[in-house]
C-alpha cells in the first residue's frame, strides 16, 4: 500500500492552550467577524469547534465511557477521529480556517495523562499539517472557571498549556502566545497575524 502524502494546509490556523484560557470565546468572535460603527470591516472566519467538549457532552448523553475521567484512551481515539474529520472539512475551504485545537493537542493530552501516544496518532500529526503559525492561549487565572465538562484544577490547566506549547514546538510549529487582553483585541491580534501569513 502506498504511503499517504503529507498534507500542508497553510490556510488552517490552530488555537491551542489549556482549558479555560479564552479559546472558545476567541473562536466565536472570529466566527462573527469584526464591526466598527455598526459597519462590518472584517469578514467572519470559518472556524472549527473544539473536539473534547462535544465528545464529553455526547458521551454523557448516551451513557458512554469515552470520557477523560473514565476511559482516557477511548476519549483520545474519539478526539482523533473528530480532529481528522475537521481537518478534511477545513482543507476544502478556500479561505482561512481557525481550529479550536488540532491533532497535536490529543498527543499532548495523552502525555499529560502519562499515557503512551500510539504510533498512528503520531503519524496523523506528521501527515496532517496546519499553518506553521500556531496560537497558544496562556493560562489566565483571572478568567479560569470550572464547569460540567472542564473539571481540571488551575494547576492542571496551566500544565496543559505548557504541554501543548511543547508538543507543537517539537512538531516544528512556531507557537505564538495570545496577549491577555479583551476578546476583541485578541481577535484583532489573530486576524493581523493571519493576514500577514
What are the tens digits of pLDDT across the range 160-185? Answer: 999 999 999 999 999 999 999 999 99
Distance CA 143, CA 170 (A): 28
Bridge partner residues of 174 (DSSP): 133
**What percentage of the chain exceeds 90 in pLDDT?**
66
Neighbours of 191 (CB within 10 A): 19
Q: pTM value?
A: 0.87
In the chain, what are the domain boundaries? Answer: 7-196
Instruction: Give the pLDDT confidence of 94-138 residue by residue, as tens digits.
Output: 889 999 999 999 999 999 999 999 999 999 999 999 999 999 999
Residue 40: Cβ-neighbour burial (10 angstroms; 0-12, 13-18, 19+): exposed
Distance CA 180, CA 134 (A): 16
Indicate the pairing of strand 133-137 with strand 34-36. unpaired
**According to the model, what pLDDT value does residue 145 have?**
65
Strands annotated E in 46-187? 46-48, 97-100, 128-129, 133-137, 174-177
CA–CA separation, 19 and 15 (whole Å): 12
Architecture of domain 7-196: 3-Layer(aba) Sandwich (3.40)
Q: Higher model confidence: residue 3 or residue 193?
A: 193
Beta strands (DSSP E) in the chain are: 7-8, 12-17, 34-36, 39-42, 46-48, 97-100, 128-129, 133-137, 174-177
CB atoms within 10 A of CB 36: 8
**For 124-160, b where at least 16 C-beta lie within 10 A, e where not — what string?**
bbeebbbbebbbbbbbbeeebeeeebeebeeeebbeb
Amino acid at each position: 500500500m502506498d504511503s499517504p502524502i503529507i498534507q500542508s494546509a497553510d490556510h488552517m490556523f490552530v488555537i491551542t492552550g489549556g482549558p479555560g484560557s479564552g479559546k472558545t470565546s476567541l473562536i466565536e468572535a472570529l466566527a462573527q467577524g469584526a464591526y466598527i460603527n455598526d459597519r462590518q470591516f472584517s469578514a467572519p472566519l470559518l472556524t472549527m469547534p473544539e473536539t473534547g467538549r462535544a465528545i464529553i457532552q455526547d458521551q454523557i448523553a448516551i451513557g458512554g465511557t469515552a470520557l477523560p475521567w473514565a476511559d482516557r484512551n477511548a476519549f483520545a481515539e474519539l478526539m482523533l477521529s473528530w480532529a481528522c474529520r475537521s481537518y478534511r472539512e477545513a482543507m476544502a475551504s478556500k479561505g482561512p480556517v481557525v481550529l479550536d485545537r488540532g491533532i497535536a493537542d490529543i498527543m499532548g493530552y495523552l502525555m499529560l495523562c502519562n499515557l503512551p501516544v500510539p504510533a498512528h496518532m503520531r503519524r496523523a500529526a506528521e501527515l496532517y499539517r496546519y499553518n506553521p503559525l500556531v496560537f497558544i492561549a496562556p493560562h489566565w487565572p483571572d478568567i479560569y472557571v470550572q464547569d460540567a465538562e472542564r473539571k481540571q484544577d488551575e494547576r492542571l490547566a496551566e500544565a496543559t498549556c505548557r504541554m501543548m506549547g511543547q508538543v507543537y514546538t517539537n512538531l516544528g510549529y512556531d507557537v505564538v502566545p495570545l496577549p491577555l487582553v479583551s476578546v476583541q483585541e485578541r481577535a484583532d491580534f489573530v486576524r493581523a497575524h493571519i493576514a500577514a501569513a
